[in-house]
Chain A
Amino acid sequence: MTPQPELSDTDVEELLGAYALDACDPAEAAAVEVVLARRPDLAAEAARLANAAAWIGATEALEPPRGLRAAVMGTTRPDPDDPNETAVALYRTQSEQFEEAARLVADAGGLDEVTTNGLTAYELVVHEAAQESLLAQAVGRTVVPEVPTTDIDARTRDFVALLDDRSLVAVLDVWRESVDVNCGWATDSAEGVARWRGLELDRADAVVVRAFETWIHADDLRRVLGQPGRPPVPSHLALMADLAGRSLGASLALVGRVRPGKTARLVLTGDGGGAWTVPMEPGATAADPDVTLTADVVDWCLLVGDRVSPSAIPHRVDGDAALAADLLAAAPALATL
């Protein structure tokens, strides 16, 4: 490392232009700063020149790539231990990847291709805009277009009708506005619960639900591109798996497979997995498990997202096989709300 030279005030005065332009070597710049600290007149001149230099930079202003904003915003996590912040980071990440996939599909001319859930790729993006804005509305935010319909299929149809002549980029703008609004809501400590789609969820769970669906649909778009699915990173997958584990009781109720007095244990293996012991009747207390079902965490999340069938995922059952069948049948219930 170059030793820091000693500079006279006159030396520094001569160097001010170079210093403002970052054209001194680091040791020399440090020596300049020593002098500036005790010479406010020179410091003022340096500030003036640095300002001029910054304006030279402004002559080159260029629209940055779209993904850059999401990348920057995705890192605004003040506290990695804060569940809301972590959930929002997951949501941001999945949203960014969804947008990337949508743009690739558009570039490949595949917007009219029919995706796994029966919508075209274009309609799927519109559907996501409808979904995001539904949450935004549910938590009292105003987003455009304002559509009162809450049934998601009908809402998607309304959105398709409203946005039909828009470019994909314009639809993504609509979609992103709601995503941003939802992220803002989820990180705002003043408010707590989202009541929507028949659910009542706290902020972290609500955005994990959105992230979950966004991931599933991003995979739908990747399939159009002939690309493999892209599971979230383990720390993010863990949030989805946890939501899936905790909501098993509600899922059983949704498909009419409540089993009073029974307890199930779900073990999800792989990075991001975990284990959950849940009563097979909402509100009941868990006891010793009557059945333990073990499966891969990504497989289970894809099952919950309704992208693999219960019969298609490798799993192991210890205990009552009929109860295991109930669990497998109930898992996708939330995806079809």
Chain B
Amino acid sequence: MRDAVTVHPRTVPTQWECTARERLMRRDGEALGEVYDQYASFVYGLALRVIGDRHAAEDVSQDVFIALWERPAAFDPARGSLRTWLGTLAHRRSVDWVRREEARRRRAERAASRGDLPPDVEEMATALVTAERVRAALDLLPPDQQSAIHLAYFGGKTYRQVAEVLAIPEGTAKSRLRLGLRRIADALEAQGAEW
């Protein structure tokens, strides 16, 4: 499992992120509460979407916030937003969970196809405002890029598995993922989304 989140150069960090990190470093538990309040629905929703199991999504979400609590220094505001940091970790751990489960299931062989586990999301759904823009950007992607991204991001598939599922060459899968993501990044930037 890759726990370390790679950090990348980025734009100017927000004061809020810098202060939050500083307080976390001082072991200020309330700072974690504030970060939690800000990002819990993002982290949990993402984990649930990828995993499809409420308990596991809760566990992953808890792990993500505890990881930040235990090692706040790993988040460097100068190199990426807290949203990206938490989202990357949440996604990575969710995907790890899904792949572990898949491996376990394969080992335990066939078993009846479990089908999708769509959680009852409607009544709980509270989409973030910005998410609407991203959803719109996703909807505008060519369908082949859309399905590749969905399979990889929400389905936890590797690009090789994406290629297999879509019956396309691996190189095509790689480029669809990259082009699709680029378009979303472009759309976010065109609309002035904050990092």
Contacts and interface: CB of A to CB of B under 8 A. Distances in A.
Contact of B177 (A17, A33, A184): A17
Contacts of B149: 21, 56
Contact of A22 (B41, B81, B92, B121): B92
23 contacts: A14-B175, A17-B178, A17-B180, A17-B182, A29-B2, A30-B2, A33-B6, A36-B8, A46-B6, A52-B181, A52-B188, A54-B87, A57-B42, A57-B91, A58-B128, A59-B127, A59-B138, A63-B44, A65-B58, A72-B65, A73-B29, A73-B36, A187-B29
Nearest to A46: B8
Given A52-B188, A73-B29, A62 B45 contact: yes
Contact of A72 (B32, B84, B131, B193): B32
A17 B130 CA distance: 21
Contact of B62 (A26, A29, A53, A71): A71
Contacts of B30: 180, 184
B95 interface: yes
B20 interface: no
A58 B42 contact: yes
A21 B36 contact: no
A50 B85 CA distance: 9
A43 to B, nearest CB: 5
Which 8 interchain pairs have the tightest Cβ spacing? A47-B8, A17-B178, A54-B87, A17-B177, A62-B45, A64-B44, A57-B46, A76-B29
Max count, chain A CB within 10 A of own CB: residue among B8, B90, B95: B8
A24 interface: yes
Chain B contact residues, majority secondary structure: helix
Nearest to A54: B87
A204 to B, nearest CB: 15
Given A51-B81, A57-B46, A17 B126 contact: no
A79 B87 CA distance: 27
Contact of B174 (A18, A36, A40): A18
A12 B46 CA distance: 26
Nearest to A29: B2
Contacts of A16: 178
Nearest to B186: A52
B62 A62 contact: no
B44 A50 contact: no
A183 interface: yes
Contacts of B46: 57-58, 60-61
Contacts of A36: 6, 8
Contacts of A75: 62, 66, 69
Interface residues of A, number: 51
B131 A61 contact: yes
Given A53-B153, A55-B87, 14 more contacts: A18-B174, A51-B195, A56-B134, A57-B153, A58-B46, A58-B83, A60-B45, A60-B154, A61-B45, A62-B126, A63-B44, A64-B41, A65-B44, A71-B62
Contacts of A40: 9
A17 B141 CA distance: 15
Contacts of A78: 27
Chain A contact residues, majority secondary structure: helix
Interface string B8-49: 111000000000000000010110110011001111111011
Interface string A276-315: 0000000000000000000000000000000000000000
A61 B128 contact: yes
Interface in B151-195: 152-154, 156-160, 162, 171, 173-182, 184-185, 188, 193, 195
Contacts of A58: 42, 45-46, 83, 87, 127-128, 130-131, 134
A43 B181 contact: no
A57 B61 CA distance: 13
B185 A52 contact: yes
B135 interface: yes
A195 interface: no
A63 B124 contact: yes
Contact of A14 (B1, B54, B138, B174): B174
A62 B121 contact: yes
Contacts of A64: 40-41, 43-45, 58, 61
A152 B134 CA distance: 52
Contacts of B112: none
